[in-house]
């Protein structure tokens, strides 16, 4: 059940991403390599020679291996809530995140704006995630 809900949230996240972007391409996660978060447990900037367009965004990667990994299963690496600040989403606000503040939990990437937000989510992840998913769902429904 939880996995099904997660897949629904990811699907709608990708739909919203397309809606927000329109026909313009945007740089995803400020040019950070989303695969590196999982492989290195640390963000690093991607390089211009390793880019890939997906869902209206340009994704940057630090190396060819990370680019190939992303191409195989991009939905695994796309940050939750379309890369918006997870802590703000749980409070019903849409706000940008700083890619340097992140949490990987349950094989998902969550982005934040500061260390305090990350620490709060670490303390009560289940509660925070549930609230954020509820608010994100409300946001998606309001947009459709």
97-126 tens-digit pLDDT? 999 999 999 999 999 999 999 999 999 999
Nearest to 116 by CA among 133, 103, 132, 131: 103
128-141 tens-digit pLDDT? 999 999 999 998 88
- Domain boundaries, position 133: 2-143
Q: Work out the average pLDDT over 82-98.
A: 96
Q: How far is CA 82 from CA 63, 64, 65, 112, 130, in A?
A: 23, 24, 23, 12, 16
Total domains present in the chain: 1
């Amino acid at each position: 059940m939880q996995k099904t809900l997660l897949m629904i949230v990811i699907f709608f996240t990708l739909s919203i991403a397309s809606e927000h972007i329109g026909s313009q391409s945007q740089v995803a996660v400020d040019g950070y390599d989303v695969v590196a978060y999982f492989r290195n447990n640390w963000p690093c900037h991607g390089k211009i020679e390793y880019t890939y367009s997906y869902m209206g965004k340009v994704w940057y990667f630090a190396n060819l291996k990370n680019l190939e990994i992303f191409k195989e299963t991009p939905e695994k690496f796309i940050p939750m809530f379309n890369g918006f600040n997870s802590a703000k989403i749980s409070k019903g606000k849409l706000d940008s995140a700083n890619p340097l503040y992140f949490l990987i939990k349950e094989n998902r990437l969550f982005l934040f704006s500061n260390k305090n937000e990350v620490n709060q989510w670490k303390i009560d992840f289940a509660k925070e995630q549930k609230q954020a998913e509820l608010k994100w769902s409300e946001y998606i429904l309001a947009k459709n």
